[in-house]
Chain A
Amino acid sequence: MSSAFLQYLFSGLTIGSIYALAGLGFSIIYNASHVINFAQGEFIMIGAMATVSLTGLGLPLAAAIALAVAATVLVGAAVARFAIMPARGASPVTLIIITIGTSVFLRGAAQVLWGKGYHALPSFSGDTPFVVMGATLLPQSLWVLGTTLAVIAGLGWFFGRTLYGKAMLATSCNRLAAQLVGIRVSGVLLAAFALAALLGAVGGIVMTPITFTSSEAGIMLGLKGFSAAVLGGLGNGAGAILGGLIVGVAEAMSAGYLSSAYKEATAFAIILFVLLFMPRGLLGQPGSERV
């Protein structure tokens, strides 16, 4: 019993790390612009699929990864520049449809480029699983967890120690004040999308050896990333991480103990629960509105 539990826990934490990265992407963009970026999942997919393509063309893995991440970051910046910026100040419904449309567009483009089949990447350091207290742990899972931790540490350094990161935080706190002290806020929007694309791509790449990828993979991943962000408290980075891990583990546990058929519904049930009963999420600030 307990080894099965550990098994679910490991796989839950692994996939949960990807959700955490996606959730961070949502939070960063939300903080910079109050936009919910439905295309976040496509960033994950593009990073993975691009890597597959490039290794298929003969590039060594490391180079392929670097190029794929760079390409995804460019896509993210393009989305910010051509889809979001022209619609500054539009109503929430309009913005939602724009980002959904962007996600549909990117998925369509991926289908044209790469077809609809599934693709895999070789595991970074072999497939021999470790056995920990009766549960198996793939080396790739360690890559996922390790990369996620590294990325989070990197973000912490970026937002806490660099001038640019602090400028982004300032903009999300108070846009007008940030402009008044000379911060280029449109640049912040671009940077937020680029950063979210980076997070998505990295997550997608380390995950592909375990779960495969396809041009359709983005939708569900994106929505589950949103679930993570909302659970943790939209806009809260630590919350997104916590939320991602919880969603991942909850999914694995419900697949293991309840029904694998309804596994996919777990994340959405969580979204509904959070939105209806604790809309501020686990770590969000309780606000009192000034009417």
Chain B
Amino acid sequence: MTLLRVSALSKHFGGLHAIEDVSFTIRSGTIHSIIGPNGAGKTTLLNLLTGIYRPSSGRIELAGQPIGDLPAHALAGRGLARTFQNLQVFTNMTALENVMVGRHRHLDQRLLPSLLRLPGFARAEAAAAERCAALLEFVGCGAYLGADASAMPYGALKRLEIARALAAEPMLLLLDEPAAGLNASETAELDAVIRKIAGQGITVALVEHDMKMVMGISDHVLVLDHGRKLAEGTPAEMCSHEAVIAAYLGTA
């Protein structure tokens, strides 16, 4: 079934048309990649999907509900979670606390129980902590359970952000260049984690430059260039698509 439907989406910054008339769908249960040369508008597209930017025009629908006008903090409740290209880890907290923030919308946000730390509240916190610790294990960060986020290496922080996003129990997980800065073995680990996530029924959409990973993992690929949709299809189709090759390599 169609989980995400984007119709004629545009975003203009003054005279700059960062995204222009982009339409595509993402089917639930798939791994969907968004690729394109630098400056194609991939991160802008993610920012639009996650409510950080408002669309200049066009529609975004998640599970049939329009979400284009919602503020960013409302989207976690709709089942959307993401990671960031430039890490946005909470360096002032521990690794576990980072993941627990991801779980925020499922947790007790009432003031009085928080101040008084009633027994039921404390039990719920303990349960949440266990769940988040399990998520850290799941992404391969189990070793950093008691650590401050500021003490963790780059590769682990990238996976920490994934754990934090998963803690929200999203329907759709958006990953912004999760393999950036990772070496070959770390990328292979990431590949395995993404497959595990998809195996749990979470739809994954990733923006990526690492072509080997993209082609190996994706069910569907969307190619952007200069803010427009250039092509979409299966990885095999994209590899032999003339315009895609031209966009990346230039024409002879």
Contacts and interface: CB of A to CB of B under 8 A. Distances in A.
B14 A291 contact: no
A21 B117 CA distance: 55
Nearest to A288: B14
A143 B52 CA distance: 54
A291 B53 CA distance: 10
Overall SS of chain A's interface: loop
A291 B18 CA distance: 12
Interface string B45-60: 0010000110000000
A291 B43 CA distance: 10
A264 B13 CA distance: 42
Interface size grouping (class) on chain A: under 10
Overall SS of chain B's interface: loop
Interface size grouping (class) on chain B: under 10
Contacts of B13: 288, 290
A288 B53 CA distance: 13
Nearest to B47: A291
Contacts of B52: 291
A288 B13 CA distance: 8
Interface string B96-138: 0000000000000000000000000000000000000000000
Query: Which interface residue of B13, B14, B47, B53 has the most chain A CB atoms within 10 A?
Result: B13
A15 B13 CA distance: 43
B97 to A, nearest CB: 21
Contacts of A290: 13
Contacts of B47: 291
Nearest to B52: A291
Contacts of A291: 47, 52-53
B155 to A, nearest CB: 26
A290 B39 CA distance: 13
Nearest to A290: B13
Interface string A12-41: 000000000000000000000000000000
Interface in A271-291: 288, 290-291
A143 to B, nearest CB: 48
A37 to B, nearest CB: 29
Contacts of B14: 288
Interface in A234-291: 288, 290-291
Interface in B57-79: none
Nearest to B53: A291
Nearest to A289: B13
A288 B18 CA distance: 14
A290 B43 CA distance: 13
B41 to A, nearest CB: 13
A288 B47 CA distance: 17
A291 B41 CA distance: 13
A291 B14 CA distance: 13
Nearest to B43: A291
Contacts of A288: 13-14
Interface in B1-56: 13-14, 47, 52-53
A288 to B, nearest CB: 6
A291 B54 CA distance: 13
A206 B222 CA distance: 70
A91 to B, nearest CB: 12
A210 to B, nearest CB: 49
Interface of A: 288, 290-291
Closest 6 CB pairs of A and B: A288-B14, A288-B13, A291-B47, A291-B52, A291-B53, A290-B13
6 contacts: A288-B13, A288-B14, A290-B13, A291-B47, A291-B52, A291-B53
